[in-house]
Amino acid sequence: MRISLKNIVIPSIPLATLLVLLACALWMSTLVGYHLVIPSPENSPFVQSLQWLLIPNSVLSNFVGIAFTLLNTLLIGQINNRFTIIRTRTFLPVFIFLMLMGSWNETHLVNGSHLALTLFLSALFYIFGVFRDKKASEHAFMGSFLIACSSIIINPLIFLIPICWLGFIMFQSFSLRTFIASVFGTLSPCILYVAILFLIQLEFKIEHSFYLNFDNIFELNALSLTSISYIASLVIILLIGLYGMYSNFHSEAIQSRANLNFILLLLVFVIIISLVFYNQYSLFLPFIAILFSFLVSHPFSLKQNKFFGIVFIIFCVLNIAFIISNFIFI
């Protein structure tokens, strides 16, 4: 039996709408099932204000999260089309991202993280745009500016700035000009943020403006057997996807190869900081999901054979089974 992903890679408008609605239904199912999730502790004044307005586990909070997620899916499609991350128009990065967001109920509470992801995706437009341009100071400034803005929401994201500098090297665009522009882009929102806090807080202390909350005590036995099996399965699917991507990497354009390598570097680093700041791990899950979706979608979109069709089906079944397990083991 032939298994093809063609209809999902480039779906019709009705099918694409149906897939998006199904992913939203997975998300909203947590309101009637496994929805009592404790938010990650985040002492950022911005996030505290956001949680005061949008009470976690509420219907309004979930709808706002879905709205931001749908906005981010539009940015995903635009990034792929503009910079040819995958050398074809494909719906799979959007679908895989929505599937993961619907399955990971911890992400339904972190609206600040969804907003930070929107800023991060916007930054990628500028960062990818510096390819082989050592005079791209405007792009370097804006990319770093937007990531620094996202770090005001999730403070550990500030460590993505050095990764962007590595990206400039990978894109053959690193120079004193782009480096200085990036530094000023990083400092600008931080200075403005501190100045606003100084004006509105009666007892202002600069050390209370940013909270990193180091917590690298990761205990594997704290995870359930279901979670361990699910994570291990996703890792295997990612490794299969990377093998499929790199097995024919020479046929990719030079810029596409640099973009994909940079996305993989970002994924590895975000996973590392999610372990270092394990008490805030759910804040990094949307970032992991978007980077995972780009990398896995590459072979699924370009290698439409029976093997990758089966792997894709396994991925979908795996996420649905994970959601069902959450309903069973409340």
Alpha-helical segments (H) within the chain: 6-9, 13-28, 45-53, 59-83, 92-103, 111-128, 137-153, 160-170, 176-200, 225-246, 254-276, 281-302, 306-328
pLDDT at 309 over 80: yes
Bigger pLDDT: 283 vs 293: 293
Residue 206 confidence (pLDDT):
60
Tell me what the mean pLDDT of segment 269-288 comes to. 89
Say whether pTM exceeds 0.75: yes
pLDDT at 210 over 80: no
pLDDT at 188 over 80: yes
CA 57/CA 48 separation, integer angstroms: 15
CA 230/CA 321 separation, integer angstroms: 9
Residue 219 confidence (pLDDT):
63
Q: Report the percentage of the chain scoring pLDDT > 90.
A: 46
pLDDT tens digit sequence for 9-52: 888 888 888 988 888 888 877 666 554 455 555 556 666 666 55
Residue 28 confidence (pLDDT):
79
Residue 35 confidence (pLDDT):
46
pLDDT tens digit sequence for 126-144: 999 999 998 999 999 999 9
Tell me what the mean pLDDT of segment 319-330 comes to. 77
Tell me what the mean pLDDT of segment 280-308 comes to. 91
Tell me what the mean pLDDT of segment 94-114 comes to. 88
Buried b (16+ CB within 10 A) or exposed e, 196-227: ebeeeeeeeeeeebbbeeeeeeeeeeeeeeee
| 304, 178 contact by CB (below 8 A) | no
Bigger pLDDT: 268 vs 109: 268
pLDDT at 180 over 90: yes
Residue 186 confidence (pLDDT):
95
Residue 118 confidence (pLDDT):
95
Residue 11 confidence (pLDDT):
86
